């Protein structure tokens, strides 16, 4: 068997493991960014919804994306289990596993908008529906031979497909769920609800950062010319620049070198470079990451002013910056590297690629938002509310949804305060 | 004998005070003083009925914002008792406990840091206080110098004023001899930033909309003037009174006093501002006060450092 073929497969299965490890990053990031009383819930639901995402991707997701179909959806290869197919230099199963890990990331991002107030059952049902009617459709449009891919839309590793899609679902969720108790005052002004452990958040970001090498460098789908090294280089530069950009911005504007914002800046750099990591030069990667990091703080403030409570800043990190990352191709893609689509504006490509990118962002973002909103609205009515009761939210989801605390020694179950006996 | 009010009566008076329309710092603090004095009288009568009259001359003094006559609608209690005599501490500790509980009932929450006359650290004889304050200064640890700053803001509400005054004056001499001006400055050296790089008002946290007046605007003035008062052996506690007392030596204090007085009247009504909700003029005024406080603190720091070298 061809050595390159084997190495391709080994590389991609390693990258699959790295992308799956990003879930560990999300567990720490989300748990650290929220309160102690919800920590066990946030960690546990991530593992368990990865389970749902995996089964759904196997049953229908992969087929809807990559099956034979039309410009809008694939319609074959359900219940994937083909051990013989070889395509694009990869064993089918290796390709399947890599794609599955991406689908699970999009779902976890979407759940950022649910944090600290959604019923456990809302996670279960939305995980199933998102895995059928939201993610696969957009992935098909751009990666599965759909209409946006045919237009030459550049999204190397998924700024749009994974990050923007997840963030749009998160936006729909946070709008329907409404802000957490205590986040906003009567006069509309906002309070900080601090996360309980910045060390967890930082470690979570670092795990995501490492996992991102699977996400971006793995999206080369092979080892030929060792191009993955170049992709990794751009990824590293953008992440570093993102952290710097965000800290600079929050320092200038708030007077404080805020740690959560800086951490989100590193993630913003990673999200921003995800679409363009294979198409741009390193100096552009620095700029793309830096601007992504700077945007993230403005975006956090913007959503806060609009009274959209986004506990772990998923909308800003994955949404706003996902848009920026996708558009940045239209500015910085070089003629030599643009293997899909056209060079960017700054390389004499005119506005054409920028237009294609804008169309891709607009169509995908709109679809993900509208469909998620409708699904969640219907669920809201059918389930008698997506949100837990006020009392449950106050006592925390660890105890209300799971019957035990993530930190049992630090928290004690609330005593019954109802003296009326009713 | 005049019949005394109960703690509950006084609680209602305090409630009326804080929900009332007083916007003048002097009036506000006159009323707080009256309520606290009457609470002390009730406590004293309670202890007298059980233990007999006070066995020695004493003074009941307030510290913190009450000591400085800068209480707002949400101040807690900080106080102590200094007495002249041996073997009478038990009596005054009982009195201190009754006063603390009384004030708590009236609506002044117990002090988290236990700066109350029920704590033997803050309820001692004149000799013991002299000894203790000298010990704090000799120790010159962060906490011991903090304790000294606390007692330096003491103001006698009931009893003999000179007991406490003598403690302060002797301490000031000791500080001078030990060249502690720099250390005392460092002890309150954290000045919270209130105005950003673009001249914008900064909130307390990047993800909240509020700015607590106390730390950002008010503390720099209070801390600076307390430092200067330690150097100048100015024994009064209210910041404005300290400024008046030192104006001869430091004429520049004149303009800062006007700024501080306008800050006090703004602060009577609220503890927190929301920069987004302020008009352009209001923002301008707050930024001005923040900058003035920082400037005063810088100027005083310089004076303290020079004083250390001489």
Q: Could you tell me which of A70, A172, A51, A74 has the C-alpha nearest to residue A132? A: A74
Q: Does B205 touch chain A (CB under 8 A)?
A: yes
Min Cα–Cα distance to chain B from A189, Å: 6
- Whole-number pLDDT of residue A389: 93
Total number of domains in chain A: 1
- Whole-number pLDDT of residue A420: 42
Residue A293, domain extent: 3-402
- Whole-number pLDDT of residue A383: 95
Q: Does B199 touch chain A (CB under 8 A)?
A: no
Residues near A318 by beta carbon (within 8 Å), at least 6 away in sequence: A109, A112, A163, A164, A166, A167, A170, A271
Best residue in B193, B206, B210 for a mutation probing chain A (most A CBs within 10 Å):
B206
* In contact, A173 and A160? CB cutoff 8 Å: no
- For residue A412, tell me if it sits in a domain: no
* In contact, B63 and B114? CB cutoff 8 Å: no
Residues of chain A contacting residue B208, judged by C-beta atoms under 8 Å apart: 189-192
Tell me the CATH number at A96: 1.10.3430.10
Min Cα–Cα distance to chain B from A302, Å: 11
pLDDT 10s digits, B252-280: 999 999 999 999 989 877 889 999 899 99
Candidates A189, A191, A261; nearest CB to B206: A261
- Whole-number pLDDT of residue A194: 92
Sign of the CA dihedral running B261, B265, B271, B274? negative
Residues of chain B contacting residue A253, judged by C-beta atoms under 8 Å apart: 196-198, 200, 206
Place of tokens 């030596």: B249
Is B207–A304 a contact, with Cβ atoms under 8 angstroms apart?
A: yes
CATH number of the B7-178 domain:
3.30.460.10
- Whole-number pLDDT of residue B4: 81
Is B277–A258 a contact, with Cβ atoms under 8 angstroms apart?
A: no
Is A189–B197 a contact, with Cβ atoms under 8 angstroms apart?
A: no
Q: Could you tell me which of A340, A346, A404, A374 has the C-alpha nearest to residue A154? A: A340
Give residue limits of the domains in chain B. Answer: 7-178, 184-309
Closest residue of chain A to B274, computed from CA coordinates = A189
Candidates B202, B210, B277; nearest CB to A254: B202
Min Cα–Cα distance to chain A from B192, Å: 10
ipTM for the predicted complex comes to 0.76
DSSP B107-161: T-PPPTT--STTSGGGEEEHHHHHHHHHHHHHH--HHHHHHHHHHHT-EEEEE-H
Q: How open is the CA angle A3-A9-A14, to the nearest 5 degrees? A: 125
- For residue A411, tell me if it sits in a domain: no
Closest residue of chain B to A255, computed from CA coordinates = B196
How many CB atoms sit inside 10 A of residue A235's CB?
26
Best residue in A180, A183, A185, A190 for a mutation probing chain B (most B CBs within 10 Å):
A190
Residue B231, both tokens: 């150097």
- Whole-number pLDDT of residue A411: 81
Which residue would you say has higher pLDDT here, B72 or B32? B32
Min Cα–Cα distance to chain B from A183, Å: 9
Phi, psi of A50 (to 5 degrees): -65, -35
pLDDT, mean of each 10-residue run, chain A (422 residues): 89 98 98 96 96 97 94 92 75 94 97 96 97 97 90 88 96 96 90 94 98 96 93 98 97 94 98 96 98 96 94 96 94 89 87 92 97 98 94 93 90 56 38
Residues of chain A contacting residue B212, judged by C-beta atoms under 8 Å apart: none
Is A253–B274 a contact, with Cβ atoms under 8 angstroms apart?
A: no
How far is residue A407's CA from residue A405's CA, in Å, rounded to a whole number?
Answer: 5
Instruction: Count chain A–chain B contacts defined by CB atoms under 8 A.
Output: 51
Residues of chain B contacting residue A256, judged by C-beta atoms under 8 Å apart: 193, 202, 205-206
Please determine, for residue B110, whether its predicted confidence score (pLDDT) is greater than 90: yes
- For residue A409, tell me if it sits in a domain: no
pLDDT 10s digits, B209-229: 999 999 999 999 999 999 999
Place of tokens 């772990």: A312
Candidates A187, A191, A256; nearest CB to B206: A256
- For residue A78, tell me if it sits in a domain: yes
* In contact, B74 and B68? CB cutoff 8 Å: no
Residues of chain A contacting residue B198, judged by C-beta atoms under 8 Å apart: 252-253
Confidence of residue B2 (pLDDT cuts 50, 70, 90): low
- Whole-number pLDDT of residue A165: 97
């Amino acid at each position: 068997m061809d050595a390159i073929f084997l190495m391709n497969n080994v590389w991609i299965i390693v990258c699959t493991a790295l992308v799956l490890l990003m879930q560990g990053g999300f567990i720490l990031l989300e748990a650290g960014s929220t309160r102690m009383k919800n920590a066990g819930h946030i960690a546990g639901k991530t593992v368990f919804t990865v389970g749902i995402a995996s089964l759904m991707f196997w049953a229908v997701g992969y087929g809807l994306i990559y099956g034979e179909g039309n410009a809008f959806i694939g319609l074959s290869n359900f219940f994937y289990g083909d051990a013989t197919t070889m395509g694009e230099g990869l064993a089918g199963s290796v390709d399947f596993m890599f794609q599955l890990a991406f689908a699970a990331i999009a779902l976890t991002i979407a759940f950022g908008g649910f944090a600290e107030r959604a019923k456990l059952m809302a996670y279960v049902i939305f995980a199933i529906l998102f895995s059928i009617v939201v993610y696969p459709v957009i992935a098909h449009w751009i990666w599965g031979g759909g209409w946006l891919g045919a237009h030459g839309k550049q999204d190397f590793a998924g700024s749009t497909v994974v990050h923007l899609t997840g963030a749009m679902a998160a936006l729909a969720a946070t709008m329907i769920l409404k802000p957490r108790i205590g986040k906003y005052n009567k006069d509309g002004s906002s309070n900080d609800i601090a996360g309980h452990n910045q060390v967890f958040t930082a470690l979570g970001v670092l795990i995501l950062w490492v996992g991102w090498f699977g996400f971006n460098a793995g999206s080369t789908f092979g080892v030929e010319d060792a191009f993955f090294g170049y992709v990794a280089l751009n990824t590293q530069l953008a992440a570093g620049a993102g952290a710097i950009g965000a800290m600079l911005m929050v320092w200038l504007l708030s007077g404080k070198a805020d740690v959560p914002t800086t951490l989100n800046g590193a993630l913003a750099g990673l999200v921003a470079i995800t679409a363009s990591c294979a198409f741009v030069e390193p100096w552009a990667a620095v700029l793309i990451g830096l601007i992504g990091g700077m945007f993230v703080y403005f975006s956090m403030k913007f959503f806060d002013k609009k009274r959209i409570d986004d506990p772990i800043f998923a909308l800003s990190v994955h949404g706003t910056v996902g848009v920026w990352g996708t558009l940045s191709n239209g500015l910085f893609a070089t003629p030599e590297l643009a293997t899909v689509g056209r060079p960017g504006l700054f390389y004499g490509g005119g506005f054409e690629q920028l237009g294609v990118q804008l169309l891709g962002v607009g169509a995908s973002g709109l679809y993900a938002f509208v469909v998620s909103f409708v699904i969640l609205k219907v669920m809201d009515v059918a389930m008698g509310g997506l949100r837990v009761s006020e009392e449950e939210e106050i006592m925390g989801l660890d105890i209300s949804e799971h019957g035990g605390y993530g930190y049992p020694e630090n928290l004690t179950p609330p005593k019954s305060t109802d003296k009326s006996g009713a | 004998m005049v019949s005394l009010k109960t703690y509950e009566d006084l609680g209602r008076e305090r409630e009326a005070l804080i929900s009332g329309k007083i916007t003048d710092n002097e009036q506000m603090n006159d009323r707080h003083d009256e309520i606290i004095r009457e609470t002390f009288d009730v406590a004293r009568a309670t202890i007298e009925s059980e233990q007999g009259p006070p066995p020695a001359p004493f003074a009941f003094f307030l510290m913190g914002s009450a000591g400085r006559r800068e209480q707002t609608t949400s101040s807690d209690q900080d106080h102590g008792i200094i007495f002249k005599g041996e073997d009478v501490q038990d009596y005054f500790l009982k009195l201190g406990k009754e006063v603390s509980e009384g004030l708590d009932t009236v609506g002044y929450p117990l002090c988290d840091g236990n700066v109350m006359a029920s704590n033997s650290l803050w309820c001692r004889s004149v000799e013991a206080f002299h000894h203790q304050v000298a010990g704090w200064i000799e120790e010159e640890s962060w906490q011991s110098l903090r304790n000294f700053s606390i007692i330096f803001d003491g103001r006698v509400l009931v009893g003999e004023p000179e007991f406490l005054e003598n403690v302060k004056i002797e301490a000031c001499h000791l500080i001078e001899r030990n060249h502690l001006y720099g250390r005392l400055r460092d002890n309150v050296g954290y000045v919270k930033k209130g105005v950003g790089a673009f001249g914008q008002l900064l909130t307390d946290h990047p993800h909240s909309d509020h700015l607590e007046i106390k730390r950002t605007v008010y503390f720099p003035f209070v801390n600076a003037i307390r430092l200067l008062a330690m150097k100048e052996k100015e024994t009064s506690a209210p910041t404005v009174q300290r400024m008046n007392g030192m104006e001869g030596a430091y004429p520049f204090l004149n303009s800062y006093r006007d700024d501080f007085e306008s800050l006090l009247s703004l602060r009577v009504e609220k503890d927190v501002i929301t920069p987004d909700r302020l008009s352009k003029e209001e923002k301008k005024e707050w930024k001005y006060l923040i900058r003035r406080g920082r400037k005063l603190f810088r100027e005083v720091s310089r004076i303290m450092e020079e004083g250390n070298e001489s």
